[in-house]
Structures are given as C-alpha cells and as structure tokens.
Amino acid sequence: MVPIKYNVRNLVVRKTTTLAAAAGLALVAFVFATAMMLGNGIKKAFGRSAGSDVAIVLRKGSDSEMSSGIEDNQQNLVIAQAQQVGASRQPVGVGELVVVVLADRVDGQGFTNITVRGVSEDSMKFRPTMKLVDGRLPAAGTDEVMLGAGLRGRYKGMDLGQTFDLKKNRPVKIVGVFADQGSSFESEVWADVHTIKQAFGREGYVSSVRVRLDSPSKFDAFKALIEQNRQLGLLAMREPDYYEKQSEMTATFLTVLGTLIAVFFSLGAMIGAMITMHAQVANRQREIGTLRALGFSRLSILTSFMLESLVLALAGGMVGAAISLAMQFVRITTLNQTTWSEIVFTFEPTPEILVRSLVLAAVMGLIGGFLPAIRAARVSPVEAMRA
C-alpha cells in the first residue's frame, strides 16, 4: 500500500490545481447543503407554530385557514366539546380569522400578499411561546395591530409606529412587534378579530378554532366528537399535522429546485476533479514508474490515486459545508404555495444535512478520480522511467 502521506504531499505541492478542484467541490457541497437547509427552514418555521396538545378545527373540505369558515355559535360548541373530552387549561380555545392584504416592498420591487390574523385577547395567552419584543399590545376593539418580527421593515408602512391600509381607506397603526421563536406567525400581522370581521365583511365567522387539550392522547376522542356531528360539517386535525401539510409543498419545491442546481454544479465539479487528476497522472509518470519498480502493485497505485481524489473531495466538501453554516444567519422570504402569502424564514442546518453534503462531495471525488486512477495503474514502469 502506497503511504497516505505521499498523496497528501502531492496535493500540497500542486497548490493551483488542488485549489481549483477543491473550490468546485466546495461549491457543490455549499449549494446542496443550502438547498437542504432551505427546505428544512420552511418545515421548522411551520413546525414551531404547532403544539402537540393543540387541535385545529376547520370547515370540512378546506385545505387551509384561508379557505375555511366557521360560525361563531359553532366555535362555542367546539370549545364545549373540547372541555368534554379533557381541556381544562385556560383559555381552552380561540377562534381566529385569517385574510391576506397587499403590501408594497420597501425596495420598490412590486407588492406581495401578507397574512393578517384576526385574534382575541386570549390568543397571546393561548401561545405561551409568543413574546412582545417592542411596543405594546393593541387595545381591544381598535384599529391598532401587532407586527410579526419577520415582517418588520420589509414592507412599506410595516414598522413600529407606522400605518398601512387593511383595505382602501381603512388604515391601521402598528403599536407592537412580537416574536415566536422563528415560527410562521412572525410572518403575520395580528389585529383585533372584530376589526377584521368588519373590514372584510366576515361578521359571525372565524377561519379556525384551536383548542388545547389536557394531553395529546385526548385528540382521537375530540376528533370523533367533532366529525361525527354531520350538521357541523367540521374536521379536526392535530396542529403539527396541519402545519406539516402547509409546509410540504413549499419545502418540496425549494428542496427539489436546489438539488437540481446542485446536480448541474456537481457535473462540472466531477469534470474538474477528473481533469485535475488526469493532469496529476501526466505530470507524475516517473513517480508512478518508480513506485511500480519498487514493487507496488497496480491495485496499490489505483487505490492510492482514488484515495488522493477522495482526500481532495472531502477537503472541498468540508469547506463548502462550513461556509453553508453562515446561511443560518440570513433571513429570506418565499411564497407559501398554499396561502400564496409571503413567509419569512431562515436556513436551518442539521448534522444530517452536513453529513449528506460531505458524502456527496466524496462520491463526486471518487467518480471524478476513477478513470485517472485506472490510467495511473496501467502505466508501464519501463516506459515511465524512459519518459
């Protein structure tokens, strides 16, 4: 077996070609890791919005709160049935109304949809992870609203003390900014539910009802009570399941798109690694011939060059994966494919994603170095010494 330090020395000596190939492999690892982190970021943003002991009730046939409508008297019945199966913590449930409004981007690049949630005084109490980070809570029954931290400063009129129009000639003032551990709620504006009902002509209705059960095991009994009553025409879902479905389409789209880009980059990186290793073989004919003359077998030469390519790939992969970690400090926006409204989220790295990017780099290095390694193994020691 050829000593590993021989391969490492050759990579260090030939700095230019080594750095060029490693940079290409690092770029692929970076793009791949970033794509995976994008999809994971969307899932985490929605997942942080969910409580394992919380059930959400929608109109049957609805795929989101946007398309759902529940009458106020039904809301009271839902909360009563939650108490029947086991829901004692106050508040037991909250009914909320969800609409979208148009908001102009501060950079002047057009406009987008922003989710506005009509809430009651109990909504903050219902979500203990939500914290007011600036300003104050809106006064009930007024045109005052709270802004999610993810939206702050991204759209015209959306910052503390500023105003924007819910509808034409219906301005509201932002008096507070809230955060919720990076959840999708941070991409929403919260207003008094009665204000939203009046502004959008939705009196007597809410979009959804959430109830907090005493334990997740109570859900099946609650679901049975809700869905067996055909007159209600409602369905109940665990909140984590609901948000998983909400994020699925967007997360899949971003992950597939990023992976396709990574695949195209990987083809270029493998070609670059192959060219680099072919150049290494061509410039080291005498060295290879000397190794063969010293008694090293063709398999040893093949293994040595494959190992060299693997070391090069792992070095590039580690650099790319390390750089990708910086993306977790970047906030970006994308369109929620279910509600067609903007959501702000961050890249979410995991050890599994980093390991996958390293494995991808290693596979590219092995594929790119295979043909040059075969060429090196076939070098005749006599011809090489004459060259």
Q: For 36-67, what is each residue's pLDDT tens digit?
A: 888 888 888 887 778 889 999 999 989 889 88
Q: How many CB atoms lie within 10 A of CB 6?
A: 13
- The per-residue DSSP string of 71-89 comes to EHHHHHHHHHHHHHHH--S
| Residue 237: pLDDT over 90 | yes
Q: What is the 3-class SS of 136-198, one letter each residue?
A: CCCCCCCCEEEEECCCCCCECCCCCCCEEEEECCEEEEEEEEEECCCCHHHHEEEEEHHHHHH
Residue-level pLDDT at 280: 67
> Going by DSSP bridges, is the β-strand pair 234-238/93-104 parallel, antiparallel, or unpaired?
unpaired
Q: For 154-168, what is each residue's pLDDT tens digit?
A: 899 999 999 999 888
Contact status, residue 212 vs residue 92, Cβ threshold 8 Å: yes
Instruction: Give the H or E element holding residue 323.
Output: helix 298-324
Model confidence, pTM: 0.77
Q: State the average pLDDT over residues 171-180.
A: 95
CA-CA distance, 377 to 297, in Å (whole number)?
8
Domain spans in the chain, listed from the N-terminal domain onward: 4-47+247-386, 61-232
CA-CA distance, 367 to 270, in Å (whole number)?
7
Amino acid at 94: V
Does 331 or 386 have the greater pLDDT score?
A: 331
| Residue 14: pLDDT over 80 | no
Mean pLDDT score of the chain: 85
The β-bridge partners of 115 are: 100, 188
Dig out the tokens for 109 from the structure.
């690049």
Span of 146-150, 202-206, 265-269, 352-356 with lowest mean pLDDT: 265-269
Evaluated on CA atoms 67, 73, 76, 80, the torsion sign reads negative
When pLDDT is cut at 50, 70 and 90, the band that residue 385 belongs to is: low
| Residue 275: pLDDT over 80 | no
Contact status, residue 213 vs residue 53, Cβ threshold 8 Å: yes
